[in-house]
Chain A
């Protein structure tokens, strides 16, 4: 795969991920992760590992499934009001490629969220460790450093950003 093709493939993957989130296709989202994949939003940008550290999210597929099942339950009260999101992903930079096809990529995101009548903005950076799979990539680790996370939370996050 040429550099350009690789860049294209990785970008397409990130765009698809954003579409899945905005489409609230939670099972498809979990499906993007490797069996041992982790979704991680550190409590602090200085954190180097999710293990044994306070984290906003630090979820394997099992915990992600709990989150999905909970959000889809009719009595998940905080999820009852109408809400929707729009993710834009950009600044995609491939940091590292491995002979086995794994890719480390960083990017930036901007998300607009509408909840009831309120519009909010969230932004930050993604860092994906993608594992090569037969049909594309699977996420081994997705690190999300959300800039808003350094201020008091005037909201609660209920799904992955």
Chain B
């Protein structure tokens, strides 16, 4: 019955609404793991997570347990975390250093950092005359079909064919350009701490929330107001409140009617960009000192064009949310139809003064930590959303806000109309891309 019902997945997605089963049906989840996550480019990690040969990090791509490892050749490899002998998981820790080579804990097969078989105990006596040995590629750890990195950010695709990384990223690569360009040395370095937070909801609910400009003033009002009160009190006492209070109070001071002035840019791959709103270019002495360092590194004109980039958020479909001006990103790992892991990282701008890092850190701690003053209320809503969608109370999820008023540009980019920043265009766009990926993968 299920097959009949969802034989044509395209019928689940209309331009302004989506069937609820797209979020709740385990069979559809399996299909989207095959057709989207295990086919297109998924973020694995930053090269600076694995600086030394043998350093590795495990990472989930779709349903596949993978690992990202630095080879002796300095290259970053992405392998299935599995021994080709009996299927044993190779690395049981989340991250570490594997030494000169990988060694399976079960029968001691060893592999190079690029996955190639190195030795099998008593290989000659045990395997002479069999099909098993170094010449058989099935005796090596399997590699991701494709691995590419852009400005230090490593992605893998588990499909041999398809667009290359740069083509796939398209305009969304501004997330990495904006982040790296803001570093006087043109590079960022990961801060070695990952906050991992589980959401009891479908992965698409999280993605749709990222550029939902209407929700902040509803969902985050409690924190915005409390922070705004404190900001005013500190200002009264000392003349100036730390910027971290502004990061929180903006959720209340930018009231619901003001969010329409922002804009989202939506791309055919499902990627979306939200133009900025947090006023992160204040005129305080820390910012001015940083701007001087930038001018010295890039020249006045180029520095100005970097600092003037005005984006708050870039969503790279189907699994990465980047806040480049604050040097944070959240990688989305679907664990099940109703369970999603987010891995949250932040970065240092190489060559930037310490106070600029502290801003990024304050946002990381206050907004993105497991004691977050912001995301807690999002998670509550995501869970409630998933609960509601599991019911028979209705069949559709609607994305009708400002529907029919989007502006389509040549090349398929969709812009929200003037003063329509709260448009549900990002959700419409993501589901359009989703339907295309699902159909193409058949």
Q: Which residues of A contact B (CB under 8 A)?
A: 41, 43-44, 52-58, 62-63, 65-71, 73-78, 80, 149, 151-158
Contacts and interface: CB of A to CB of B under 8 A. Distances in A.
A53 B193 CA distance: 9
Given A52-B354, A69-B229, A78-B377, A57 B346 contact: no
Contacts of B358: 52
A78 B382 CA distance: 11
Contacts of B366: 63
Q: State the 3 A-B residue pairs at the shortest beta-carbon distance, nearest first.
A: A73-B222, A69-B226, A153-B370
Contacts of A71: 222
Contacts of B234: 62
Contacts of B88: none
B226 A62 contact: no
Contacts of B195: 43, 54, 56, 153
A149 to B, nearest CB: 7
A70 B230 contact: no
B371 A158 contact: yes
Contact of A56 (B223, B248, B357, B370): B370
A43 B365 CA distance: 10
B369 A54 contact: yes
Contact of B197 (A62, A63, A76, A156): A156
B372 A156 contact: yes
A41 B365 CA distance: 11
B255 to A, nearest CB: 14
A32 to B, nearest CB: 18
B373 A56 contact: no
Nearest to A58: B365
Interface residues on B, range: 35 or more
Given A78-B380, A153-B198, A66 B227 contact: yes
A68 B366 CA distance: 14
A65 B373 CA distance: 12
A124 to B, nearest CB: 14
A152 B222 contact: no
B197 A54 contact: no
A70 B373 contact: yes
B117 interface: no
Nearest to B226: A69
B376 A158 contact: yes
Nearest to B245: A66
Given A54-B361, A62-B230, A157-B370, A44 B381 contact: no
20 contacts: A52-B354, A54-B346, A56-B195, A56-B365, A56-B370, A62-B233, A66-B229, A66-B245, A66-B248, A67-B373, A69-B225, A69-B226, A74-B222, A76-B377, A151-B196, A153-B198, A154-B198, A155-B370, A156-B197, A157-B371
Given A73-B221, A152-B197, A153-B197, A78 B226 contact: no
Contacts of B233: 62
Contact of B191 (A54, A80, A153, A156): A54
Nearest to B345: A54
Given A44-B193, A156-B370, A157-B371, A76 B248 contact: no
A1 B418 CA distance: 72
B280 interface: no
A66 B234 CA distance: 12
A55 B365 contact: yes
B219 interface: yes
A147 B219 CA distance: 30
B198 A152 contact: yes
Interface in B239-267: 245, 248
Given A152-B198, A154-B198, A57 B222 contact: no
B369 A73 contact: no
Given A43-B193, A152-B197, A156-B371, A73 B225 contact: yes
Contacts of A149: 370
A156 B230 CA distance: 23
A77 B248 contact: no
A77 B226 contact: no
A154 B225 CA distance: 27
A43 B229 CA distance: 28
Nearest to A62: B230
Given A52-B357, A78-B380, 18 more contacts: A41-B371, A57-B369, A67-B373, A69-B226, A69-B230, A71-B222, A73-B226, A75-B222, A76-B377, A78-B379, A149-B370, A152-B196, A153-B198, A155-B370, A156-B197, A156-B372, A156-B375, A158-B376
